[in-house]
Amino acid sequence: VQGRDTPPVRCKYCCESRVEAAFVWAIESGFDCVSTSLLYSVYQPHEVIRACGMRLAAETNREFLYQDFRNDWQAGIDRCKEIGLYRQPYCGCVYSEADRYQKKLQRCMKSA
């Protein structure tokens, strides 16, 4: 991720498409309110997620629940480790995964 305040264009597209998918699923399942686990991560562009959710809420006559769950981020990590729950170490896109491996490779090269 480029930075918490200025996500790359690809992050905007990815977050918007994931929020849109959540709305589709919620509508098909008969829910009146939509939210997303994206709001838990300190690495996700909340302003993008919130704007998209609010836009879709207005377009679909659904409520978008925006809540900043990042306050409990470290506690969530600690709890996951405690119970042995897998946590994906990147956002899930191929670009993020490539960045993760690039950083790992650079660290290996420095220590060699």
Instruction: Write out pLDDT tens, residues 61-109.
Output: 999 999 998 998 899 899 999 999 988 777 777 787 788 788 778 888 8
The C-alpha atoms of residue 50 and residue 56 are separated, in whole angstroms, by: 10
Helix (H, G, I), strand (E, B), or coil: what is residue 2? coil
Phi-psi region of 92 (alpha: psi -120 to 50; beta: other; left: phi over 0): left
73 close to 41: Cβ distance less than 8 angstroms: yes
Is the pTM here over 0.85, yes or no?
no
Contacts of 25 (CB under 8 A, 6+ apart): none
